[in-house]
Structures are given as structure tokens and as C-alpha cells.
């Protein structure tokens, strides 16, 4: 009987150990979830210390980061649903009139700000061009929505919240700054007669000034205008090089024609005087030596600046 009792006691010990272990894991998951929700940086510091102490954890982090980069660069993210969500939140009181006004006045501005931050975070430096482009256009539409808030109630709360809030401008600036010069130039190029992103951005900045908002959009516009000025300067310099090359060709052609005419006259004079001297005595033919000017060939520059390409405008949502 003694061995069976021992086996039973061991089984109970194992079951109690696994129960405590399972409870500890549940507590750990709960802690991670709560810390992630709080988002005060504590969980990230713990992961950093853990990765510094354990090479396996560090390798797992590198692999996960590489996978994230590849997925972001492979597929473009569409942010159109965020525009619909913002519009729904903004006009939710029209659908649910019994909802307390003060709740919506506090909830909607915070929701819009969080949406802007989410788009700015997803359209990161390692995202594809399509993702960054979609992020900029969606943020531009959200900017129009904010500037269009003129009514009382929730719209007034949104307007007051973003009156001097640069969240929108910062998100757009970070995305635009992460794009290359050619990509920014593509947003300044006209496609099928539609307004360019630069033109729409100028309209949003004008609307911001008209509504007396200060969301930091002028700095974003400066990025695009500087890019456009640099592009026009390169085009003008290349056009000037082409004209200089063409003028050089014309001058060389005129000089060559004049030179050929002089040479022909010299040949005619030599042929008349060749064979006889002034006394009519036959003389030996002399070997004619001429230093003809070598004709220089100038190849005109055919290099032209590559045209930027951009995706078609996604269209106004409202």
C-alpha cells in the first residue's frame, strides 16, 4: 500500500505544480495585456533587457522585424476605411440622438487623433510607396473633415481640439520626409488632367488658414514645393545644355563650310600655277601639303530628365 500512496502523492504534487504554473502564465499574460494597453513604455523596456540577456530572444526579435518589413514592402495598405470611421463617429449623434452630448464631445476628437497616429505609424519608413501614398491621401481627407467642422456640438469640440494641435501635420510630415525625391516629385506631376497631390495640399493649407487652424500643414507643403523647385531647376539646366550644344553644332557647321570653300580656292590656284614657272619653263610637280582643319563632330545631348510616375488620385470621399 505504501508505493501506491507515494505514486498518488506524486501525481497530486505534479497536478498542483501544473495548476500553479498555469495560473502564473495567466497572470503573466494579463500583465502583458495591461501593460500593452497602458502603452507607457514599460513592456518595451522589459523586452529590451530580456533581449540583451538572452541571444535567442534577440534573434527572434530580429526575425520578426525582418518579416514585418518584408510584409509591409510587399503589399500596400489601404486606409480608406479610416475616413468612413471618422465620418461615422462625427455624425453618430444624428443616428443616435439619445446619446449624451458630452460623451461624444470627448470621445470623437480623441478617436480622430488616435486614427491619425495609427495611419502615421503604419505608413512608416519601411512601408511601400503605395502605403505611404495612401496614408498621405487619407490624412489629407481627414484634414478636410477637421477644417469642415463648423457646427455646434461635436464638430465644435473637434475644431477646438485641433485648433493648435499639430498631430496631423506631424504625421504627414514624417511620411513625406521618409519618401525619396523622385517619389515626392511624382506627387507633384499631373496625371490624366487630374489635380495633383501638391494642388490638393495647397487647397488644404488655404482652408487651414481660412478657418484659422494651426495644424502644422504649411511645413508639409514646403517639402513638396522645395522638391518641385529643384525639379524645375534641373529641367532648365538640361534645356540650357541642349541649346548650347545645338549652337555649337551650328557654329562648327558654318566654320567647316567656310573652311572647305577656302581649301577649294587654294586647290584651284595651285592647279593653275602647277607645271610652269613664270618664265614658261616646265618644273617638277611639287607635292602638295595641306593642313586641313579636322572637322569636329559634336553629338547633341539627348539626355532628358526621367518623367515621374504616380498612382492615380484616389478621389474625394466627400
Residue 194 to residue 17: CA distance in whole angstroms: 69
pLDDT digit string (tens) for 89-129?
888 876 666 667 777 788 899 999 999 999 999 887 678 88
Q: What pLDDT is stored for residue 113 in this prediction?
A: 95
Query: CA-CA distance, 111 to 85, in Å (whole number)?
Result: 9
Q: Per residue in 168-196, pLDDT tens? A: 999 999 999 988 888 888 888 766 677 88
Q: How much is the CA Rg of the chain, to the nearest whole Å?
A: 38
H helices within the chain, ranges in order? Answer: 2-38, 42-53, 55-74, 80-90, 92-95, 101-122, 129-147, 154-161, 167-177, 181-187, 197-210, 217-273
Looking at 128-216, list the stretches that DSSP marks H as alpha helix, in order from N- to C-terminal side. 129-147, 154-161, 167-177, 181-187, 197-210
CA–centroid distance for 74 within its chain: 15
Grid cell at residue 221: 507643403
Please give the pLDDT value at position 315.
46
Burial class (CB in 10 A: 0-12, 13-18, 19+), 73: middle
Separation in Å, CA 127 to CA 54, 68, 71, 262: 29, 10, 9, 68
- The reported pLDDT for the residue numbered 12 is 63
Long-range contacts of 70-73 (CB under 8 A, 24+ apart): 72/124, 72/126, 72/127, 72/128, 72/131, 73/126, 73/127, 73/128
Domain ranges of the chain: 77-233
> Whole-model pTM above 0.75?
no
Asked if 127 contacts 308 with a C-beta cutoff of 8 angstroms, the reply is: no
At residue 6, the pLDDT reads 54
Q: For residue 175, what pLDDT is reported?
A: 94
Residue 40: DSSP 8-state: S
Average pLDDT for runs of 10 along the chain of length 318:
56 66 69 71 83 89 82 78 93 72 83 95 83 93 93 88 92 91 80 81 93 91 77 55 52 52 47 47 45 38 38 41
Residue 15 has φ and ψ, to the nearest 5°, of -65, -40
- pLDDT score, position 41: 75
d(CA 66, CA 94): 45
Task: Let me know if 55 is exposed, middle or buried by CB neighbors in 10 A (0-12, 13-18, 19+).
Answer: exposed
Residue 194 Rama label (left phi>0; alpha psi -120 to 50; beta): beta
* Spatial distance between the Cα atoms of 317 and 143, rounded to a whole number of angstroms: 12
Please provide the DSSP assignment of 238-269 as one string. HHHHHHHHHHHHHHHHHHHHHHHHHHHHHHHH
What is the pLDDT at residue 136?
A: 94
What pLDDT shows up at residue 128? 84
Q: Give the per-residue pLDDT at 7.
A: 56
* pLDDT, position 135: 94
Tell me, what's the pLDDT at 64?
87
Amino acid at each position: 500500500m505504501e508505493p501506491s500512496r507515494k505514486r498518488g502523492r506524486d501525481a497530486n504534487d505534479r497536478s498542483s505544480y501544473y495548476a500553479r504554473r498555469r495560473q502564473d502564465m495567466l497572470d503573466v499574460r494579463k500583465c502583458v495585456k495591461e501593460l500593452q494597453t497602458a502603452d507607457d513604455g514599460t513592456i518595451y523596456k522589459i523586452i529590451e533587457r530580456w533581449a540583451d540577456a538572452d541571444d535567442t530572444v534577440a534573434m527572434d526579435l530580429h526575425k520578426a522585424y525582418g518579416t514585418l518589413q518584408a510584409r509591409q514592402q510587399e503589399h500596400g495598405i489601404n486606409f480608406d476605411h479610416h475616413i468612413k470611421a471618422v465620418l461615422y463617429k462625427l455624425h453618430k449623434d444624428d443616428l443616435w440622438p439619445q446619446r449624451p452630448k458630452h460623451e461624444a464631445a470627448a470621445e470623437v476628437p480623441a478617436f480622430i487623433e488616435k486614427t491619425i497616429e495609427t495611419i502615421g505609424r503604419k505608413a512608416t519608413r519601411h512601408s511601400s510607396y503605395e502605403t505611404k501614398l495612401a496614408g498621405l491621401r487619407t490624412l489629407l481627407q481627414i484634414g478636410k473633415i477637421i477644417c469642415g467642422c463648423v457646427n455646434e456640438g461635436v464638430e465644435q469640440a473637434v475644431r477646438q481640439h485641433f485648433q493648435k494641435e499639430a498631430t496631423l501635420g506631424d504625421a504627414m510630415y514624417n511620411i513625406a520626409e521618409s519618401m525619396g525625391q523622385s517619389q515626392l516629385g511624382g506627387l507633384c506631376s499631373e496625371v490624366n488632367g487630374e489635380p495633383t497631390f501638391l494642388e490638393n495640399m495647397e487647397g488644404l493649407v488655404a482652408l487651414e488658414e481660412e478657418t484659422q487652424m494651426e495644424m502644422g500643414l504649411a511645413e508639409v507643403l514646403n517639402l513638396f514645393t522645395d522638391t518641385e523647385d529643384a525639379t524645375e531647376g534641373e529641367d532648365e539646366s538640361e534645356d540650357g545644355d541642349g541649346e548650347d550644344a545645338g549652337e555649337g553644332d551650328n557654329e562648327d557647321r558654318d566654320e567647316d563650310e567656310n573652311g572647305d570653300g577656302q581649301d577649294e580656292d587654294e586647290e584651284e590656284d595651285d592647279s593653275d600655277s602647277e607645271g610652269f614657272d613664270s618664265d614658261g619653263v616646265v618644273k617638277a610637280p611639287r607635292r602638295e601639303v595641306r593642313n586641313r582643319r579636322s572637322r569636329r563632330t559634336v553629338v547633341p545631348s539627348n539626355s532628358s530628365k526621367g518623367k515621374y510616375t504616380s498612382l492615380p488620385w484616389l478621389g474625394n470621399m466627400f
